[in-house]
Amino acid sequence: AAPSLASTSMKSKEKEKAGHVSKTETEWKKTLTPEQFRVLRDKGTETAFTGAYWNNHENGIYHCAACGLTLYSSKTKFESGTGWPSFWAPIDPTHVKIGKDESLGMERDEVACARCGGHLGHVFDDGPAPTHLRYCMNSVSMKFEKSK
């Protein structure tokens, strides 16, 4: 199992619960940009090396762009060379859900937000120690909160 990191952006010591957010397609279209909707709701993928965070080296926390759930810490971000932001572990394993993705004629493990079900990216088993996992995320699926 992937190690968990405490969120530095949370005010209390209480663990953030994923909970559940449910909206209609129309409601999502009102709150998300067209590109966010394409990736988060229609399971699209942004073009490599074009997202806001693939080359971000600032310290902070990455949240789901749709519902705000904490997803990843810059402490687990690494240079994968893929053109997408990559992490070796989520901030809390209960904040992401892994499912099967058989689109594009291949089988991959999809990563979705546990709170709203938004498509974040995919996880592969070619990452660095200690988990040897690479959570390859779409920048547009996340919002970055810089550490203060």
- Each residue's pLDDT expressed in tens, for the chain with a length of 148 residues: 444 444 333 444 467 888 888 899 999 999 999 999 999 999 999 999 999 999 999 999 999 999 999 999 999 999 999 999 999 999 999 999 999 988 888 899 999 999 999 999 999 999 999 999 999 999 999 999 999 8
- SS3 of the chain: the string is CCCCCCCCCCCCCCCCCCCCCCCCHHHHHHHCCHHHHHHHHCCCCCCCCCCCCCCCCCCEEEEECCCCCEEEEHHHEECCCCCCCEECCCCCHHHEEEEEECHHHCCEEEEEECCCCCEEEEEECCCCCCCCCEEEECHHHEEEEECC
Q: Is 67 considered catalytic here?
A: no
Tens-place pLDDT, residues 46-59: 999 999 999 999 99
Q: What is the pLDDT of residue 12?
A: 40
Check residue 14 and give its pLDDT.
Answer: 62
